[in-house]
Structure 1
Amino acid sequence: MKAIQMTTFGEPDVLKYKTIEDPKPSNNEVCVKLFAAGVNPNEAYVRTGTYAFLIPDLPYTPGFDGAGIVESVGEDVTRVKVGDRVFVAALLAQKNTGTYAEKVVCDASAVHLLPESFSFEQGAALGIPAVTAYRAIFQRANIKPGETVLIHGASGGVGLLAVQMASSIGATVIGTASSEEGKNLVLQSGAQYVCNHVTEDTIEEILALTNSTGPDVIIEFLANANLETDLKVIAPYGRIVVIGNRGSIEINPRNAMAKECDILGTAVFNIPKKQYEECLIGVSALLKSGVLNPQVGSRLPLSEAKQAHIDIMSKKAKGKIVLVID
């Protein structure tokens, strides 16, 4: 089969498009013929060989998320059958041969039914982004109906799903985006308000939308740039959930003391197994009920995984980047 494989760590050009042996499922494993694979920042970090959460053995085929049709199953598999349309969310799977490929073999528990109303590309946009959004919104922030939520970078793959989840339970959502196209996507996903990215100069705009109290919850994608501003704008007793960071930042802890607010971190590799499974059960239910509508931002052929990794780290992604597999 055709796949992306890396034999060394490094820049995106270590991602090579080549022919490798087809994987075969063992007990409690499933083989899925893939038609799309999701591209995540985590995979770009893993590619460097410096990611604290995972340094894989080489050669290695990247990819945790994808969607396609079940081709074969190992013994004792009952949750899916050959021919089922499915999405793959294999981040915490014990077995995962990588979704940047025409086929993937992974734990049966990582394979979930994909409703007919969703495309394979939309299915590939779930996995890490959907689990991250669900974890941040429901398990860490514990958002309640009627609360106000500020979602930084709401036009990305995770952000749009977070907007949909928060608005579905009656929260008031403020999203930020840098382009008009991104802002329109945020509004279409259910946000009541959308504005430019929050800076020291635009704090008053957020306060004006929240009766001068600030949002109850902030979902933060770039804490090294925004955390100090978050502490100034958050409502008293509010919660800041950090799900993204690319460096260090100096903050004044007195801002947290004065608000008695909480700063909550989350990283998908750290989610306890039971809570991770709860995330996927919740995501599947929201998908089936029509709450979730994954947005695919750009599509590239599998052979252009190198470019996908360049794009995913450019901070300009709108919706999900997906590799299309013929």
Structure 2
Amino acid sequence: MRAVVYTETGPSSVLRLTERDVPEPGPGEIRVRLVRAGVNPTDWKFRAGGMPGGMSHPEVTPGQDGAGVVDAVGPGVTAHEVGTRVWLMLVQHGQPHGTAAEYVVVPAWKAQPLPEAASYDLGAALGVPAVTAHRALTSGDVERLWPGAMEGLTVLVAGGAGAVGNAAIQLARWAGATVIATVSSDEKGALAVAAGAHHTVNYRVGDPAAEIAAITQGGVDQVVEVAPAQNDDLDRKVLRIGGTVAIYANNGGDELTLPLRATFSKNLRYQFILLYTLDDHLLRAAAEDVTAAVAAGALRVGETAGAPLHHFSLAEAAAAHDAVEQGAVGKVLLDIAGS
């Protein structure tokens, strides 16, 4: 099979396309013939050596997310059958080989059914963004997402045009929340609206805190935060008493300083999120809810969903990594096989 690998961390040029044996599933595992693979910021950060564990194995095939068809099942697997369409999450985590390959073997629980109406593009775009968004949305007043679960709540999504922001908008809207997205331009505002945001606020213009306060009654319940070092003052101003800030990235700075009295006087909660250290029961809950949202047609990709798609061939994996590193708006995908 064809697979993209690297044997040392560094720039995207360390990636090379090679031939490897098709892997065999062991107990509790399945093999998936991949059609699409998603590329996320975490992929290039591991490859570049910017995150611990980038070279935890002598050879690494990058890629946490993907979609394809179950090709073989190992002993003890009963939840999947050969020929089942699936979407994958956290594939390379804990093993050397990820989704930038024609076949991959994964623990069966990391593969979720992909409804027939859902494209492989959508399946490969779920994973890291959607599971992160789910954890962010369920770190406050609700534990699971379903229609009506967030009815009456207001969610502020920082960076509404990003991949996690896009997923958070769609999931929060599906769950019944009123969604406000902060954006840096009219173009990104249009993407957030396409994703389903009820309101957008350009944080570079005027007084965003006053604008958000005018939209809400009593403040925001939940913030999905991508840039806490930059946005904490804004978040604290607009959150209601007892609100939650869910932080999943460090855009805009690595250090966050909190004014203690102003923060604890509102009884705020701060939830930090990294999928690689998240308890399995939270990952499984997210996978179930995301799959339900997909089945309901509540999660989409493409221009009309505010998530433009950027397709690269498997041989162009380095260019795909570069596109993500350079801030491509939307979702970067590797086309591995015809759909």
TM-score, length basis structure 2: 0.88
Q: Is the 8 A contact 2:7 2:14 kept in 1?
A: yes
Give the partner amino acid of 1:299: H
Residue aligning to 1:275:
282
SS at match of 2:59: coil
Residue aligning to 2:146:
none
Q: Any gaps of 5 or more consecutive residues in structure 2? A: 143-148
Q: Deviation of residue 4 (structure 1)?
A: 1.1
Q: Deviation of residue 94 (structure 1)?
A: 5.0
Residue aligning to 1:77:
77
Q: Equivalents in 2 of 1:96, 1:4: separation in Å?
A: 12
1:58 matches 2:58: yes
Q: Which aligned pairs between 1:218-257 and structure 2 lie closer than 5 A?
A: 218-246=223-251, 247-257=254-264
Q: Deviation of residue 68 (structure 1)?
A: 1.0
Give the partner amino acid of 1:124: A
SS at match of 2:220: coil
Q: Is the 8 A contact 2:88 2:111 kept in 1?
A: yes
The structure-2 alpha-carbon separation of the partners of 1:179 and 1:104, relative to structure 1 and needing over 3 Å to count, comes to: farther
Q: Equivalents in 2 of 1:75, 1:264: separation in Å?
A: 38
Residue aligning to 1:158:
164
Point out the more displaced range, 280-289 or 290-299: 290-299
Match of 2:326 among 303, 306, 314: 314
Q: Is the 8 A contact 1:153 1:221 kept in 2?
A: yes
Q: Equivalents in 1 of 2:16, 2:162: separation in Å?
A: 26
Q: Deviation of residue 92 (structure 1)?
A: 8.0
Give the partner amino acid of 1:282: D
Point out the more displaced range, 290-299 or 76-85: 290-299
Superposed structure 1 runs of 4+ greater than 6 Å apart: none
Residue aligning to 2:103:
103
Per-residue CA deviation, residues 135-163 of structure 1 (Å, 9 max, x unaligned), is 11124453732121110111222111111
Per-residue CA deviation, residues 165-196 of structure 1 (Å, 9 max, x unaligned), is 11122211001233444322321222110122
SS at match of 2:241: coil
Match of 1:168 among 163, 170, 174: 174
Q: Equivalents in 2 of 1:45, 1:33: separation in Å?
A: 26
Give the partner amino acid of 2:287: L
Q: Deviation of residue 114 (structure 1)?
A: 0.8
Point out the more displaced range, 301-310 or 238-247: 301-310
Give the partner amino acid of 2:179: V
Q: Which aligned pairs between 1:127-142 and structure 2 lie closer than 5 A?
A: 127-140=127-140, 142=142
Q: Any gaps of 5 or more consecutive residues in structure 1? A: none
Say what the alpha-carbon RMSD is for the aligned residues. Answer: 2.3
Per-residue CA deviation, residues 75-129 of structure 1 (Å, 9 max, x unaligned), is 2222111111111113586556210111111111111111111111110001111
Residue aligning to 2:313:
301
TM-score, length basis structure 1: 0.91
Match of 2:334 among 295, 317, 323: 323
SS at match of 2:265: helix
Q: Equivalents in 2 of 1:60, 1:26: separation in Å?
A: 19
Q: Is the 8 A contact 1:66 1:87 kept in 2?
A: yes
Give the partner amino acid of 1:219: V
Q: Is the 8 A contact 2:27 2:77 kept in 1?
A: yes
Q: Deviation of residue 292 (structure 1)?
A: 1.9
Q: Equivalents in 2 of 1:234, 1:115: separation in Å?
A: 37
